[in-house]
Amino acid sequence: MRIRNVEREKHPYFQGDLLRGVAVLTLTLLAVVLIPFIGPVVVVMTPLPIMYYCLQLGRTKGIAVLAVSFLAVAGILGFVGQRPGFSVLLMIGFSGVLLSEILRRNYSLEKTLLVASLALFLSGLGFLLLHALRTGVGLREMVELYVSGVVNDNVRLYEKLDVSEDQTLLLRENIPQITRFFTGIFPALSLSGAIVTAWLNLLAGRLLMQRKAIGFPDFGDLTAWKAPEGLVWILIAAGGMMLLPYEALNIVGVNVLIVCCLIYLCQGLAIAGFFFKRRKIPAAVRLLFYTLLLVQQYMLIIVIAFGLFDIWIDFRKRIAGAEDAPA
């Protein structure tokens, strides 16, 4: 017994956190690869456990855990006769390590999110370029093929959902135009995806790591966050470009507009969070609100509008004033 206790003191991580980390990351990566419907959802949050173990165990041990997990996933997939998508797994692993390195620098919230989002976006672009060079397909053609496949899959899904034949026929006739449109806004969608991925992982990481007493930057009260005031002029300029009779400027305008709307969506969500906190809204009602955001597009438009008009109205000041006012 004495020898075992000495070994545990000498190798504390080996007995617990390292093996636990390998198990968690292996199962997470397998879920991304093997479960078709869960994979796309899980992949957004996959950097979280990687980021967590890189911060908890330290850079060297965290990367070692990730490497062992990759080997385990490769072995399991090889055993079941499935070819692993190493490019996707490497990108996920790189994202988690990257987020942990950014957090170690204790930037402000805005700088952390900006650096993390751009880093994720550029790393994804780098992986696409490498894949394009390896396959000999141009980057735009690769994106167009991917978008075309997604559009056709959705049309087939609508047919299975018993959508009216006229609507299905209209979609099929406009597949080239739909594909061209989404190919044009693919940069904004990719950057928005990087921002959402970074933001969700930072929020979840903040909650998880503060509970585990692991060092995490203090971003302060997130419900008080505001977008830079000058962003509204970029939004107006983007809207102006969409009105010009030049297709290239229209595409640039739409891309910029999408990213601006996402930022104002974050500000609208901060206002909602402030309202929930000040009025002590029950968790069930909050959950219902966020669920509606996912399933009802008009709710997103309303929240974006709140974020945009907050520049002039200052909703949080009015909420606090209404609460403090005498009955």
Burial environment of residue 192 by CB neighbours within 10 A (0 to 12, 13 to 18, 19 or more):
buried
Phi-psi label, residue 213: left if phi above 0, alpha if psi -120 to 50, beta otherwise: left
Query: In the 8-state DSSP scheme, what is residue 11?
Result: S
User: What does the pLDDT read at residue 91?
Assistant: 80
Residue-wise pLDDT for 205-241, tens only, equals: 888 877 665 667 778 888 888 998 899 999 999 999 9
Q: Which residues contact 227 (CB under 8 A, 6 or more apart)?
A: 263, 264, 266, 267, 307
Beta strand spans in the chain (E): none
Q: What is the pLDDT of residue 40?
A: 59
Distance CA 40, CA 53 (A): 22
Q: Say which residues have a Cβ less than 8 Å from residue 172's Cβ, sequence separation at least 6.
A: 155
Residues 13-62: tens digit of each pLDDT: 454 778 888 888 888 888 777 776 665 566 788 888 899 888 888 888 88
Task: Express each pLDDT in 100-122 by its tens digit.
Answer: 988 888 888 888 889 999 988 98
Number of neighbouring beta carbons within 10 Å of residue 68: 16
pTM for this prediction: 0.84
User: What is the model's pLDDT at position 215?
Assistant: 66
Contacts with 82 (C-beta within 8 Å, 6 or more apart), sequence order: 33, 34
Work out the widest C-alpha separation in the chain, in whole angstroms.
81
In this model, does residue 323 exceed pLDDT 60?
no
Confidence of residue 2 (pLDDT cuts 50, 70, 90): very low
Full DSSP string of 214-279? --------GGG----TTHHHHHHHHHHHHHSS-HHHHHHHHHHHHHHHHHHHHHHHHHHHHHHHHH
Average pLDDT over residues 194-201: 90
Locate 131 and state its tokens.
Answer: 């894949």
pLDDT at position 4 over 70: no
At 271 the pLDDT is 94
User: Looking at the chain, how many residues does it have?
Assistant: 327
262-304 pLDDT tens trace: 999 999 999 999 999 988 889 999 999 998 888 888 899 999 9
Angle 279-264-231 (CA atoms, 0-180°, nearest 5)?
Answer: 130
Mean pLDDT of the chain: 83
Which pLDDT score, from 0 to 100, does residue 10 have? 47
Q: What is the pLDDT of residue 268?
A: 93
pLDDT of residue 214: 66
pLDDT value of residue 126: 84
Checking if the pLDDT of 326 tops 50, the result is no
Percent of the chain with pLDDT over 70: 88
User: Dihedrals φ, ψ of 282, to 5°?
Assistant: -60, 150
